[in-house]
Structure 1
Amino acid sequence: MKSLFDIGLPVLPTKDDPDRAPDDLPWTVQQLRTAQRQGTQVHEIIAAVAGTNDLATDPIATIRDAAKTIVTGRANGRVAQARLRVTGLAVQYAQLFLPANATLIATERQPVTGGRADLLWLHPTVGYFYDEVKTHRLTPRVEEAALKQMTTYRTAGVTELHTHFAGVRLICLGNARSSLLMTKDGEIVALHESALSPAALRIAPTRTAAS
C-alpha cells in the first residue's frame, strides 16, 4: 500500500483550464515522475521535522534547511525551483495542519497493520490520531483510493489503540478545505468542522516521544 507516494495522478493546472480532471491532461512520463518525486520529498521533510522544537520557533527556516538536504541531484531538474515547490507544500503543513501541543509518536517508518501511515500523533485532549498527507487535490478516483487507505488506518487504530484512538486525518496540501477526517466510528466529515481541525489543535508543538 502506498503512503509516501501519492495515490493517482497529481493535478498540475494547465494554462487553458486549471480545473480539468487529471485523466484529461496530456501527461508525460517526466511530469509524472517529477510530481511523484516532489510528493515523496514533501513527506520526507515533514517526517524529518514535524516533531522538533525548531519547527515551532522558525518553521520556514527549518523546512528550507531540510529541503537542502532532501531535494538534491540532477533528477530534480532545476533544483532551486524544485526546492521552492517542495518547501512551500511542507510549510503549508507546518502552518496550517501541525497539531499543536501534541507529541509525534511515529512516522511512516513504523508500519501499522495493513500499511504505513505518514504520522501518528498523541494529543493530550483528543488522544491518538493518524495524519495521511497528500500533495494534490482530490478527484473522485483519488478520493476513493484515499478513503480505502484511511479505512485501513482506522481499523488499525481502533484495534491497536482502542478507546484512546480519535481518527485519521486526510491532509490535502494545496487544497486545505478538501481535507477530511475519518472518526474512530468510521464517519467521514470535513476536517475543518471536526474536533481534530487545525483550529482546535493549534497551540504549540512538542518534541517527539523519542527525543
Structure 2
Amino acid sequence: MRDLHAVPGVFASRPLPYPIYAASGSPSRDQQTRDSHVAVLVHTVIGRVADTCLGAPVADAVAAVLAATEDVVPPGRGAVKTRMLVAGHASKYVTRFLPSAGATFLGAEVPVVRGRVDLAWSHPDCGVWFDEIKVWRHARTVWDWRTYDQIERYLSAGSAMFGDAFTGVRLVVTGHTYDCVLVDPGGEVIPLAESVLAPTALTLGGAA
C-alpha cells in the first residue's frame, strides 16, 4: 500500500476533524477520558440495536437506543449524565448514518490487524466499509496524525480482508455531522455527504 502521508492531494494533505483538549490535569483533559469511555458505550449500544433499527421508523429506532442504553450503562454515580450522552450520540448515529434495510451489520468492535473497528457494514450496492465513530465535544478541521494513523491501519486491514469490495472508512463525528468524511481505499478524503457512502446513497439500487 502506498504511503498515504506522502502523496499530494490525498489523506494527510487533507485535514480531518480532531478533538481539542488542554494539557494533562485540566478539566478538558478529564473530558477526553470521559469521551473515550462514552465512545465505547456508544459502540456497544449501536451494536445491540443495529439490526433492529435497519429500516425502522425514527421513533422506534430511538426507543431501541434508549432501552439498550439503560442496559449498557450501569446505575451509579454519574449514570444519568452518561446515559444521556450515550443515548444522544447513539441516537444521532442510528437516525442519521445507519444504512437502509438490506445492508448487513458485520459487528461492533471488530478485531482487525493492529486495532478494533468500531462498526463494520456490508451493502449489496456499496460494498463493505468501516465506521469510525468520534464523540468529541470539540472538533475543527486541522492536522491530526493520530486519527490519520488509525484510519490508515483500517484502510490497510479492510483492503486486505475484502479486496475490491472494500469502499473505505467513514469518520463519523456525531457531535459535528458536517465534519464527517469518507476516506476511500486510495486515501482520498471526501466530505461524507458527497461520497458514495453518504447516508442518502445507502439505499438499495442507489441514491434516494
- Contact kept, 8 Å, 1:47 with 1:118, in 2: the verdict is no
1:64 to 63, 66, 74: 66
TM-score normalised per structure 2: 0.77
SS, match of residue 160 in structure 2: helix
Listed one character per residue, the Cα deviations across residues 8-62 of structure 1 (whole Å, up to 9, x for unaligned) are xx96xxxxxxxxx422794277544433322221121112211225772411110
What's the counterpart of residue 45 of structure 1? 45
- Show the counterpart of 1:174: 175
Question: What residue is the counterpart of 1:80 in the other structure?
Answer: 80
Identity between Structure 1 and Structure 2 (%): 31
Distance 1:64 1:163 in 2: 37
> Equivalent residue for 2:122?
122
Q: Which has the higher strand share?
A: 2
Shift of 1:150: 1.1
Alignment match, 1:135: 135
Q: Distance in 2 between matches of 1:94 and 1:118?
A: 14
Matches within 5 A, 1:1-211: 21-23=20-22, 26-27=26-27, 31-53=31-53, 56-57=56-57, 58-74=60-76, 77-100=77-100, 101-108=102-109, 110-136=110-136, 137-139=138-140, 143-202=144-203
| Stretch moving more, 177-186 or 53-62 | 53-62
Q: What CA distance in whole angstroms lies between the structure 2 residues aligned with 1:90 and 1:152?
A: 24
2:143 and 2:187 mapped to 1: Cα distance? 19
Residue type at the aligned position of 1:188: V
CA contact (8 A) 1:192 1:198 kept: yes
Query: Structure 2 unaligned runs (5+)?
Result: 1-17
Local SS of the residue matching 1:56: coil
SS of the residue corresponding to residue 125 of structure 2 reads coil
Task: Report the RMSD for the aligned CA atoms in angstroms.
Answer: 2.5
Would you say the 8 A contact 1:50–1:104 is kept in 2?
A: yes
Work out the CA distance in 1 between the residues paired with 2:84 and 2:203: 25
Shift in alpha-carbon separation, 1:28–1:163, aligned structure 2, 3 A = closer
